[in-house]
């Protein structure tokens, strides 16, 4: 990638799975050097998740382009020595071990700060570094359950790990804030990101609604689905998404479909007016999805088809916005990638200039040579099981 303000940033990524990898993907795509510091035999656990193409996991392919891999035994004294030498020139370290693990490995923030006072050190955990609950095993679905969120969606699993993604976004934001702080003050920073708190932040409107409704909330008391904001089935059993929260859109729709009597019932929920809902369901079911799309061509009223994934991808690629593209990588071949959802005038982020997800330990040798180790030392480390990939 072209030289830019992120080209000199070095990130050491000790994390496994989605929250850390998604966060550091942001910096890798912006041109930072992101080094995945991985366990020697298995590496990041997301390397193992099926489905795979030519031995490469979909999970790893989605999250690890533009990154390097160094496989290292952090339980060994030499492994810790190597990591500390890397940390001397790093800008960011991110990890998601349980609290206390990095201290036992002698690579925690207080230790790294001694050799690099300007380091930005980000730790991800279930409930924060000082909460005993973070010592227990926890996953995304557990955090959703504890937040109250699952009680409002029928207890259904989401296709996306919502708490994990919230954590990744908070981590990326926290690191960016810390880098800005360092730019202004010269000071490093410890960034403590709690997965539970990150997800609660996403749910701020739901908690506010709970309070404003007299400390009560349920599926029936949510704002949506409402008559004007819902998913309806068409004559051919396809789905249409209606999002007419503005009165002008709803009024135009009702008038042009001959349903003026529904205008004052715009925000009523099903249990508040069953008859109005039946009329709306019957109206949408009177046309096929294609007929609705034809009817909508000359109108601007927030109604769209519910596309299947294949059709959605086809249309997104046809729009050529740069957010999604097929990229040809060695080993795995041409695969679909989703890029950063922003465009910066001075920092290129094109998917066509990315490097492939690294093989485990692929860059171990070059990284160790760069920080001063001789080839004989590196080969000796490999024989002792301190590094891999050389």
Class of domain 10-203+321-388: alpha beta
Strand order in the sheet with 303-305: 229-233, 239-243, 303-305
Q: Which band of pLDDT confidence, cut at 50, 70 and 90, is reported for residue 257? A: very high
Residues of the chain with CATH 3.40.50.10540: 10-203+321-388
Q: What is the pLDDT of residues 12-51, one digit of tens each?
A: 999 999 999 999 999 999 999 999 999 998 899 899 999 9
Integer Cα distance of 19 and 337 in angstroms: 18
Q: What pLDDT does 344 receive?
A: 87
H/E/C letters for each residue in the chain?
CCCCCCCCCEEEECCCCHHHHHHHHHHHHCCCEEEEEECCCCCCHHHCCCCEECCEEHHHHHHCCCEEEEEECCCCHHHHHHHHHHHHCCCEEEECCCCCHHHHCCCCHHHHHHHCCCCEEEEEECCCCCCHHHHCCCCHHHHHHHHCHHHHCCCCCCCCCHHHHHHHHHHHHHHHHHHHHHHHHCCCEEEEEEHHHHHHHHCHHHHHHHHHCCCCCCHHHCCCCECCEEEEECCCCCEEEEECCCHHHHHHHHHHCCCHHHHHHCCCCHHHCHHHHHHHHHHHCCCCHHHHHHHHCCCCCCEEECCCHHHHHHHHHHHCCCCEEEEEECCCEEEEEECCCCCECCECCCHHHCCCCCCCCCCHHHHHHHCCCCHHHHHHHHHCCCEECC
Per-residue pLDDT at 77 exceeds 90: yes
Distances (CA, A) of 171 to 15, 97, 177, 182: 12, 15, 10, 16
Q: Which band of pLDDT confidence, cut at 50, 70 and 90, is reported for residue 352? A: confident
Structural contact between residues 9 and 32, judged by C-beta atoms closer than 8 angstroms: yes
Q: What pLDDT does 148 receive?
A: 96
Q: What pLDDT does 350 receive?
A: 85
**Range 224-310 has CATH code 3.30.70.120:** no
Residues of the chain with CATH 3.30.1540.10: 224-310
Q: What pLDDT does 3 receive?
A: 62
Q: Which band of pLDDT confidence, cut at 50, 70 and 90, is reported for residue 5? A: confident
> Which of 169-178, 329-338, 344-353 has the least mean pLDDT?
344-353
Phi, psi of 325 (to 5 degrees): -165, 165
Mean pLDDT of the chain: 95
Per-residue pLDDT at 1 exceeds 60: no
Q: What is the pLDDT of residues 48-69, one digit of tens each?
A: 999 999 999 999 999 999 999 9
Per-residue pLDDT at 2 exceeds 70: no
**Left if phi > 0, otherwise alpha if psi is -120 to 50, otherwise beta: which for 388?**
beta
């Amino acid at each position: 990638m072209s030289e830019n303000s992120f080209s000199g940033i070095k990130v050491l990524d000790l994390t496994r799975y989605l929250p850390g990898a998604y966060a550091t993907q942001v910096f890798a795509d912006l041109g930072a050097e992101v080094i995945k510091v991985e366990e020697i035999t298995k590496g990041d656990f997301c390397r193992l998740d099926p489905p795979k193409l030519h031995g490469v996991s979909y999970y790893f392919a989605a999250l690890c382009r533009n990154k390097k891999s160094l496989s290292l035994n952090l339980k060994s004294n030499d492994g810790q020595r190597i990591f500390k030498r890397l940390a001397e020139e790093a800008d960011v370290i991110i990890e998601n071990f349980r609290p206390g693990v990095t201290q036992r490995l002698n690579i925690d923030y207080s230790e790294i700060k001694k050799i690099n006072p300007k380091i930005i050190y980000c730790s991800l955990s279930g409930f924060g570094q000082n909460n005993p609950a973070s010592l227990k095993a926890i996953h995304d679905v557990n955090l959703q359950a504890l937040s109250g969120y699952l009680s409002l969606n029928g207890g259904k699993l989401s296709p996306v790990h919502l708490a994990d993604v919230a954590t990744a976004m908070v981590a990326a934001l926290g690191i960016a804030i810390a880098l800005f702080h360092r730019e202004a003050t010269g000071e490093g920073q410890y960034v403590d990101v709690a997965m539970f708190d990150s997800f609660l932040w996403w749910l701020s409107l739901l908690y506010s609604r709970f309070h404003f409704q007299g400390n009560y909330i349920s599926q029936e008391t949510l704002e949506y689905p409402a008559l004007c904001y819902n998913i309806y089935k068409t004559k051919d059993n396809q789905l249409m998404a209606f999002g007419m929260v503005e009165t002008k859109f709803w009024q135009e729709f009702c008038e042009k479909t001959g349903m003026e009597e529904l205008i004052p019932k715009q925000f009523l929920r099903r249990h508040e007016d069953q008859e109005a809902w039946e009329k709306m369901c019957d109206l949408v079911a009177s046309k096929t999805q294609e007929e609705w799309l034809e009817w909508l061509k000359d109108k601007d009223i927030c109604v769209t088809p519910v596309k299947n994934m294949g059709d959605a991808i086809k249309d997104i690629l046809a729009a050529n916005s740069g957010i999604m593209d097929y990229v040809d990588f060695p080993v795995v071949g041409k695969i679909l990638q989703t890029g950063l959802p922003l465009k910066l005038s001075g920092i290129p982020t094109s998917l066509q200039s990315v490097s492939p997800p690294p093989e485990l330990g692929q860059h171990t040798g070059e990284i160790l040579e760069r920080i001063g180790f001789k080839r004989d030392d590196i080969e000796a480390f490999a024989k002792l099981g301190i590094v891999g990939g050389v």
